[in-house]
C-alpha cells in the first residue's frame, strides 16, 4: 500500500504544479522570444513563437508572429519558410513593406521566379526611392528569366541618383549586356572538333586547359598504339592493349567535349544568376533592414 501512497502524492503534486502555472501571456512570451533571438538562440525563439500561434487573437498579433517567424527564417537561411511567413503579413501591419520586399526576394532566390514576379508586381512604393527599388527587383528578376524586353522596360525607371541603388543599377545594366552577348556554342560542333583533333572541342567550349590535358594522353596512347602495330603487328598484345586504351580515351574525349559545352553554359548562367541575386539583395537590405 505504501507505493500507492507515494503514487497518489506524486500525482497530486504534478496536478498542483500544472494548475499553479500562470496562463501564457502573448506579450510576455513575445518579449521572451525577442530576447532569445537577440541572444542568437533562433531554434528556441521559433519554439516560443510556435507556442504563441494559438494565442494570436488579433490581426496585429498574427502579423507580428508571421513577420517575426519569417525574419528568423530569413536570418537562418531557411528561405522557403521565410517567404511563406513574410508574404502572409497584411497591408495594415507596420512590417508590411519590409515583409513584402524580403519575401518576394526569397521567392526569387529559391527559384520560384514566376511567383516572385507576381509578388513583386504588387510591392509597395511609398516614395520615389521605393519605386526605383521595385523596378530594380523586377528588372533583376527579368534578367534571371532572360526576359530582356522586360528588363529594358524596368530600366527606364532608373534615375541613377539614389546612392542606395545606383551601383546595383549600373551593374544590372552590365549583366544585361553580357547575357545578351553570350555565345551559343553547339555541343555537336564540340564533339566534331574533338573527333578531328582530341581536346579541340573543349578549347572551343572555353576550357582551354582541359582541352590540352585531354590531348596529351590521347597523343601518347596513339603513338604507343602505332609503335605496337609497327613492331609487333595487329594481333600483338601490345597493339591490342594500347589500341583499346586509345579507343576508350578517344571516345571519352568526344563525349567529354559535348558535355563540356553544357557544363560551361551552366557555369556561366549560374555565375550571373548569383551576381544578379546579390545585387537585388543589397539595396533591399540597405533600405529596409
Tell me how far apart the alpha carbons of residues 102 and 277 are, in angstroms, rounded to a whole number.
12
What's the Cα-to-Cα distance from 179 to each of 110, 148, 167, rounded to whole Å? 21, 9, 18
pTM of the entire predicted model: 0.78
Place of cell 510591392: 123
pLDDT digits (tens, 9 = 90+) for 85-113: 999 999 999 999 999 999 999 999 999 99
C-alpha of 260 from chain center: 23
Average pLDDT over residues 21-31: 68
Evaluate whether 29 touches 48 at the Cβ level (below 8 Å): yes
Q: Would you report the helix, strand and coil content of the chain in percent, each value rounded to 5?
A: 80, 0, 20
pLDDT digits (tens, 9 = 90+) for 205-262: 777 887 777 777 777 766 777 676 777 677 777 767 766 776 777 777 778 777 777 8
Amino acid at each position: 500500500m505504501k507505493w500507492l501512497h507515494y503514487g497518489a502524492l506524486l500525482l497530486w503534486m504534478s496536478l498542483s504544479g500544472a494548475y499553479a502555472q500562470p496562463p501564457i501571456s502573448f506579450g510576455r512570451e513575445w518579449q521572451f522570444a525577442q530576447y532569445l533571438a537577440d541572444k542568437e538562440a533562433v531554434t528556441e525563439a521559433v519554439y516560443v513563437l510556435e507556442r504563441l500561434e494559438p494565442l494570436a487573437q488579433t490581426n496585429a498579433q498574427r502579423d507580428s508572429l508571421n513577420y517575426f517567424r519569417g525574419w528568423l527564417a530569413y536570418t537562418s537561411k531557411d528561405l522557403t519558410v521565410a517567404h511563406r511567413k513574410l508574404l502572409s503579413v497584411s497591408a495594415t501591419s507596420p512590417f508590411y513593406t519590409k515583409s513584402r520586399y524580403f519575401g518576394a526576394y526569397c521567392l526569387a532566390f529559391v527559384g520560384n521566379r514566376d511567383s516572385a514576379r507576381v509578388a513583386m508586381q504588387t510591392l509597395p512604393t511609398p516614395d520615389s526611392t521605393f519605386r526605383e527599388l521595385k523596378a530594380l527587383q523586377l528588372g533583376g528578376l527579368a534578367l534571371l528569366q532572360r526576359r530582356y524586353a522586360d528588363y529594358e522596360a524596368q530600366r527606364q525607371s532608373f534615375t541613377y541618383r539614389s546612392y542606395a541603388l545606383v551601383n546595383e543599377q549600373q551593374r544590372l545594366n552590365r549583366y544585361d549586356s553580357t547575357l545578351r552577348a553570350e555565345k551559343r556554342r553547339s555541343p555537336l560542333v564540340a564533339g566534331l572538333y574533338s573527333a578531328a583533333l582530341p581536346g579541340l572541342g573543349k578549347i572551343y567550349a572555353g576550357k582551354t586547359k582541359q582541352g590540352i590535358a585531354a590531348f596529351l594522353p590521347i597523343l601518347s596512347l596513339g603513338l604507343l598504339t602505332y609503335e605496337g602495330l609497327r613492331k609487333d603487328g595487329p594481333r600483338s598484345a601490345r597493339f591490342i592493349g594500347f589500341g583499346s586504351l586509345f579507343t576508350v580515351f578517344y571516345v571519352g574525349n568526344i563525349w567529354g567535349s559535348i558535355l563540356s559545352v553544357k557544363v560551361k553554359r551552366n557555369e556561366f548562367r549560374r555565375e550571373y544568376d548569383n551576381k544578379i541575386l546579390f545585387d537585388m539583395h543589397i539595396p533591399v537590405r540597405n533600405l529596409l533592414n
